[in-house]
Amino acid sequence: MKVARFHAPGDIRLEEAPRPQGDLVIRVRNCSTCGTDAKILRHGHHRLRPPRVLGHEIAGEVVGSGERVQVIAAIPCGTCPDCRRGRLTVCPNQESMGYDYDGGFAEYMAIPDKVVAVGGVNRIPDGVSYAEASVAEPLACVLNGQELARVGEGDDVVIMGAGPIGCLHVRLARARGANRVFLVDVNQERLAMAADLVQPDAVIDDSAVEQVLKLTGSRGADVVITAAASGQAQEQAIRMAARQGRISFFGGLPKDDPIIACDSNLVHYRELTIVGANGSSPAHNAQALELIASGQVPVADLITHRLPLDRVLDGIDLVSRGEAIKVTIEP
């Protein structure tokens, strides 16, 4: 079979490999690309020991039974104190597809027993395509983030970042009953492309704090989600949040520049809540599939590019340059 295998930063090769063996093997039908794939291509990852097949947004067909399934990316151990208390997203022993195990940029892949043990293989509902099912993993992460930030009925929500994650945040916020959703990005072309698809109530490409305050009658936003790896966005989020507002630091910052300036008095006097968001649980993945199947969170139109496996580098490049919303690979 063919695989796209990472050997070193800047070095992903399309190679021949033997078909994998195991109790559960799938024929990969779609594996969508992610900003994380672009980061790995440029810099590698401390947990990734090459050579490694990348790809963690996975949907395929079980060899033998033909059952259509979606596979989780983040694998909690299921047995540590955090997992036993239901905190699977912060499992200290977490492993990941495409990092610790070969991922979905391949024609076939073996599903580790650990994934099955934590309920990480989900049946794809009828009417949901493989491509749509591959988007369930990032949607699961978005669902975790919005649960932690308590997005709900009547909220004014600001999404900072108009990439695929930002678009999913807009759609999910509406599904959760948000009053208005504003989309912010400094890349005007990407903002226009995203806004054309997800139709936010307003788009903002400059002076974000001032514009949000103007749109909300100086009150500020109930929820601000930073779906971008930007310290400036996190600092702005604190300044644009309403009293008792909730702020989600959804996008992590570069390891060499993780410190921001926080006006602690704004947090204190406005009674702000700042939460992180780290991945998703197996249950979030199952919920994401149901949100897609029910039509509450449409994702098909967010898939702007479909490429064969031998063009995986083109797909990652499109993601890096912000010229696509969602790119899916069809091995």
Q: What distances in angstroms separate CA 3 from CA 39, 108, 198, 307, one per listed residue?
A: 19, 8, 33, 14
Q: Answer yes or no: is pLDDT of 19 > 90.
A: yes
Per DSSP, the three-state class of 276 is strand
Residue type present at position 267: V
- In the chain, what are the helix, strand and coil shares in percent, each to the nearest 5? 35, 25, 40
Q: What is the DSSP letter of 297?
A: S
Q: What is the pTM of this model?
A: 0.96
pLDDT of 141 > 90? The answer is: yes
| Nearest Cα to Cα of residue 99 among 44, 48, 41 | 48
pLDDT value, residue 189: 92
The pLDDT of residue 321 is: 87
- CA-to-CA separations, 54 to 99, 208, 283, 311, in angstroms, rounded: 7, 36, 23, 14
Q: What is the pLDDT of residue 43?
A: 87
pLDDT recorded at residue 46: 82
pLDDT for 239 equals: 98
**83 and 77 in contact (C-beta within 8 Å)?**
yes
Cα–Cα distance, 227 to 323 (Å, whole number): 17
Whether residue 112 is preceded by a cis peptide bond, meaning omega within 30 degrees of 0, is no
Q: What is the pLDDT of residue 1?
A: 96
**Mean pLDDT along residues 137-151:** 98
Mean pLDDT of 219-237: 97
